[in-house]
Structure 1
Amino acid sequence: MASSPNRGGSPSAINYSPEYVQFIEKLAVYHEKRGTEFVREPKVGSRQIDLLKLFNIVMERGGYDKVSDEKLAWRKLGQDFNLGSPNLPALAFALKSVYYKNLAAYEISTVHGKEPPPKEILEDLTAKGGGLLTRTLENYKPPSRREPGTLDHSEASGDDGTPARDRNGSEEAPGSGGRATRGLRQAPPQRILFQPDTQPSRQTRHAASHTSSPQQAGHHQQHQPRGASTSYNPSSNMENMSLAVANYEPRPQMPLTLRPVITPGNNPVEFARRQKAKRDNLAAASGRPAPATNRGVMLPGSGFDGPNIYVRCLCALRSGIPAEQDYALHHLVKISMERGDKYRFESFPGLAEALIEKLLEVSSLFYEVDWHVSYAEDGSMTSRNTLNGVDGTPDILQTIAQLPKLDVNDNVLPAGFNDALLQINEAALTMRNMVMLEDNAHYVSEMAPLRDMLCIALNLPNHDSLVELKHYALDITEQITKYLPSDETDPLYISLLVQLQSEDLGAILTSLRAISRISMNLEENNLLKGVPVAGIQNILDWTILNDEELVHACLDFLYQYTAVVENVDFLITELQVEPLINQLVRLLAHGVKIHEKEFSRGPEFKKEAPLQIAPLPKELLAQLLKLDEPERSSQWLRCLFEEDSDESITQIALWQAYQAQFMPTTIETGRQLLPAAEFIKNVSTTFGEKATAQVQSGPVQKFIIKGIRMRSVPVDFFEEEYSKCLWKVQPGHGSYCGEFFMSPEEMYKHMLQDHIHAQLLPDGKFDNTQEGQYVCQWDSCSRFKTAPATKLAQLGQHIKVHLPPRPSAASRGSNEHGPPPSKKLKPSYILSSPKQKFKYETTAVDERQFAAGVPLSAVLVLRNLARNLPKTEAEETAQKTDGISWVDRLFRPVVPRLYEVMSHNRALVEYMTDLLGSINDAYAG
């Protein structure tokens, strides 16, 4: 550390020493990386500033923030640099700005080991103020410009906390234009607000009776203030100003009168009438007869704008004209997509029926049929082409099966066929979009022709051209089944069950959701009867697939299916349920996340102080020998000792350890040791007020250093602990090597040379040609104990696992010779109690943190099976034949896993408790 400048000499002159040149080059590289401007030899007044000396002086006083917080500190620094007494505040602020622009960020990075603020809130701003170590983009608000007329201290004062001195009355007479003392700005004299005369020019008789005489008025006018710069009476003028402000009322604004100009764009009817009147007037003026007019007759296309777009589309759809239907369906699709949340069937009677009639035309493309909807009250069927529009057609599936099919080549379709199918798809898309609104879904669910139409669409031939229409039909079905009752003979229900044999994943998913929603909004339950064995088997197989959406749809179906005892009886009688139980148990962990937490088994405790000073590593000793006193002794103390208010060490022991360590090297290095008194003082300087020299009373007085203790493991300059070599020097006696190393390479070389006695070759490698019996003698390692290695390379490759980790760059700062980081929060002798690890699982939850998703559906299906299995007829038969219940057969193998899930998954605890309770009740019964 360079010494501070001397007042008597010439401290501002730059000494171009090697240390100065190296410092300036390092600063230049730093500012180049930071992207800021750097002035190598800045000037303050007429003097050039030595940045190295300025940096050292500020560091001796605690840094930029501490100097800025001290009153008039920068002025004192200006005196140290002999900047001159005239205008010293401005020169001191200029000196502060030099440090702020060139050295402040460098100080934060290298001295404090922190990331400096960005240049936008550091170098780009003025040096006014301090607080650089805590300045961030979030908490720092740049100083705003000073408003005119406000009192503030000058930035050039050199210290930011100088208070403004109050002016005494004797310093300046009121109303004078003199300057403020000491350069402080004064508030300008307040002016009289202009108050216009609001009295009427002609006074009333009552007002005139109170007017003063002309002499009085003239005398009063002589004392009236003239001009804006006249001095004022504070009390009277402030009162007048307050009254003027309080009584001020803005002048009322008169509304403008606007008259529209008649043009063909904004009023074509009136414009045409005026043009016609103008032509009639010109004809009359010229003597020609006025043109004849059809008075009282409405010409075609005039006087009526026609129906709105909705009525227009409905009429066009029901017209049967292809061009009109194209127009109608195009706009209906667009309206249903953009206005589907407000477009209701109730507002347009006949629209739903027209769409259904259009959809029924699809059968004519593939069958020899032309459907006709009959709304006769008796429900009489006149022909096979007639559908019952009141109650629905119960034998619609049989009728479809008997229809003669047309020969349709799906690969090559006529243009008319494609146009007709396109209109049908647009009608289906319109219906699908509109039923997404609950009111429309409930409205069309009561229409029997729609259910017949859905049955017809779902049972059309398997052509690629019909995939889009079938998906629209399934989407419509999914929206309306919640309002339909459950009946195993219902044609729509049977048509949905047929889709379970499809190879289309989208059709399967929509069908499962539609079946699961049957009777959802009705009081009666959905019993899901009549499901074929093949459909159930497919659902059981699909639960094994890695498709969460499909698995979830299958579990929703199984949850409703297993809620009925007859269905459970059918399930265990016709199918193998054991794989289903195992799969459901596995699905309890679907998407599980395993968390692990550690809990301390007791409070922290303090390790006993070692009895001897730890040996100094060779690497650390080499670094200490390069330092001068007192820095060397301070670093030696930090590496081998640490603060502890309860411990102490005798001064003689500390001095002897220091003397024994460095006395042999004084001749080689030429650096003398500190005297004993200076060394003891340096202990308090190194550790602060916590380490003090005291006299311990007793039979024999002892001179001790109170507040420090010896470290068990030495640390380097960056407070990173060394690693101890645990190689057993006497195998079987438990004595270890005990040397400390920071570098893994040095420890590796130490073990091979000092313990294994390997021969180091001139190229830096070890001789691997000699064979022998090599055994690892590390602390508790059992490698090569029974079968020793014959090659040195085998043992050398193994002992790398015992090497310490390489020191991290983050712990050592941006450069290896920089200052040490901040001290650790907890001393090395404070140890934590042993910790207990606990693991728990989490699966999907909803916004209320309740169980959701596949695991919830799986546990609900398992609970239904556990509750309903004892009620089935198959259970009674099993009890009579072999005496083993179905609950025991299915659930006993998985009970341990169920208890494990209940113990680890908090979201499923309630449901798992019900499931295990149902299983135990079945066991007891």
Structure 2
Amino acid sequence: MAPVRQRDPSVERTEEYEEFMKKLEEYHQKRGTQLEREPKVGPRHLDLLRLYKRVVEEGGYDKVSDTKNNKLAWRKITSEFFPWSNAVTTQAFIVKSAYYKNLAAYEITHIHKKEPPPKEILEDLTAKGGDLLNRTVENYFPRMNRETENLINGKDAYDSDTEQKTPGNDKMDIDEPTSAGRMTRALRHAPPQRVLFQPDVSSSRQGRQSTTGVNSPAPTSVNGIYSGSGTSMTTIANYEPRQQVPSAVKPVVTPGNNLNYYKDKASRMLAAKRLGRPIAPRGMMLPGTGFTGPNIYIRAQLALQSSIVEEQAYALHHLVKISHERGDKYRFDGFPGLAEALIDKGLQVASLFWDIKLRISYDDVENHEEPHVLNGVQGTRNLLQNIQNFPLRDTYDDIQTEEFAAEMGRINEAGLVLRNMVMMEENAQYLSRLPVIRDFITVALNLPPRTATIELKHQALEIAEQLTKYFVLGATDPLYQSLLNQLYCDDRGAIITALRALGRISMNLEVNNRLENVPDKLLQRIHDWLLIDDEELRNGCLDFLYQFTASVDNVELLLRSVHIDSLINQLVRLLLHNAPTTETKERSRAVTKGGPSPETAPKLSIAIIEQFLEYSEPERSQQWLRTCFEDDPSGEITQIALWQAYNDCFKHALETRPNISPLMPAKDFITNVSTTFPGATAQVLNTGTTHKYTIRGIRPRAIPVDLRGRPYIRCDWHVEPLTGRACGEFAKSPAEMWDHIVLAHLQIPRNEHGRFDPSAPGPPDRRYTCNWGGCGRFSALGEESPHHVAAHIKTHLPDSTPLAAHRLKHNRTASPTTDLRNPYGLNNAKVWMNTQTDERNDAAGLPLASVLVLRNIARQMAKLESEDGGWVARTFGTVKEQLYFVMAHNLSLREYITSLTRAIAAAGG
């Protein structure tokens, strides 16, 4: 037997395909038409990207649809997409229609660069028309039916003057011998009356010669239409009536004409009687001889409700597929008893691990105190106590019987069907009204810790996640206690799903979810989980805390159970989770205050120069030029000065490190300037006696920038206090600038480990002071301890953390060369750190959940009393500055932070 050929996938969903479909969908939304993403042609789907490329390769829709020059173009393209099809002609029109509806207008816009026709004369019509590039509203008129065209022309809807006669209509016309034509074409004539020939039987037989002399009776004239002409009389005289055809009669089988039939019938009945087979009456079909039976939905339900193992396996196999693919067609309310049968099958798992057989009772009179009886009307309240007393079977994960594995597989399938079906809201509402579903989830979550039970536990947790929003669970409810116990396990998936289920309790009801009696140990675990860099786990914890902190008693318990300051700080840090930093304006060149632009290249620190030495020429010179110079159409610098600045920058490094590749020659360096700055040009100016070689189009930067365009930090240490001349060296970070000041200006030596030790006492005759921008912090005599001076110098340096950007006001100086309100070289640039939003442009994700939890805590803390003062002032006082920063720079959370700060202020914080 030949192997079955595997069918290739219909659509290749590559990155190019997804990007094309996104653009195509946006195009149809703007045009006001409907896009069919994957049109179906027979059993397969059509790849629109591949079809678009193929048609464009042939010249476009109009060229492919040109029947005069290329009749079979669409068939050829269709055969390439569906090579094994037996209906190419039909599928070719489907492919053409799919291109016409989805891609024709897109092709006209993007390939031919024209405005496509309106959708009223393109997408709203069939694909029979062509010449789309020349189709307009003025020259294209859709084909109308004959009645509509007559009405437009002012004629009767059924006027036949405009109709062309067909051969069939010619045959229906009646030749009238005495008239030149029909009297009217609008009315239909009555058929002519004919008089049948009646021979004269009174006379004797005539001879042959006298036969022609016999006259037949003349026909009666009707309305003057017929006359007694010779031709008409001969036609009527020769008329003969049609002979009657005998009707076909089916013979009836009787013993007289077919005795053998009755003999064979008697033999068959006798044989069936001996074999015990039923004899069907005449006209009745026996089971299995033509009955189609119920559909698969009813068949699966009845098989599941039976006690036959093979039938249940058949039903569960098909229910898994149906619930996954056609869950919207298979609802619990349309098949009564289906949900109960699935739950009953899932509860059979208890017999595999405990020596007990659970049974559901829907009788209020029956005693439900027996441990194996579940109350199907109100739910089993003492189910957890009963489970703890169930006798445990000896089951092991490494040794299982075939019957155990098969039964566990069927139970898992029943749980999977329930899980799939509750994903639809109608099924979730229906199942939430069955109290026995809580018992099933409780039993599944309290199964012994075995490998075989993991799948069913996860299915039960996902069912609980969809149903708890319709439940009211008290502190002693078995399901509530079972969900809390899942937080003690080490399974990440089980913990996250349990947190979501607990956070959704009573979410769709008017009853408040109090989440009572949560152990202190669990609250501490949730606090610790917030510190883990796991967004999904953090979301689950915040969902739980949002519901938990809605109660004053719970917040009071939270204050006793966890370190509240640590929790508040972590929630504040999450307010800027994954917040990208953006600016409303690009970084502009730093403006020098009180003087012209610099004439020489800025002085770079040794660390920056060491970074350039890692590059080889010409990349080294290009990076140095981008760091120290910028485009300026009016700027100008001499070639000698530029080359000298480049050599002076790397002269000391090249002398101390001979293994570094040498600098490029001057000629190549000048040529490389134009390569780095396309607007820069080398010029030769004739001054009369000499020639001046310059480069026009660039100028030195006041503040150099790194390879990513970020400005470096300038050293404003006054090396000559009397004249105010500053050091002017640039460093790439505050830490590097501090090292430069300590080493070059304070001259504090390094220890044996290569580190500075400002705490060590200096020489007895040495005094230290701060000369940063004319700082007057210390007296003229200075300080003996370099530790105080070095610690003070850090206050002049900018803080690199985002939350401390507003603290730059401390970095004030009297230097005339630096704008200390803008140490990074930003002119009127507003920095935004907006977090993620949803489709309605509202805040979402971890930042939103964090601010909601903080607001709950602040509101509930205000209702508590403390001997040392208010809880709000003590807890939120240290983070108010960070909250204001988030409110100023995060537009997504601005309204929520505002409500939080109002709650803090209302509580006296």
TM-score normalised over the length of structure 2: 0.49
The answer to which structure, 1 or 2, has the higher relative contact order (CA under 8 A, 6+ apart) is 1
TM-score normalised over the length of structure 1: 0.48
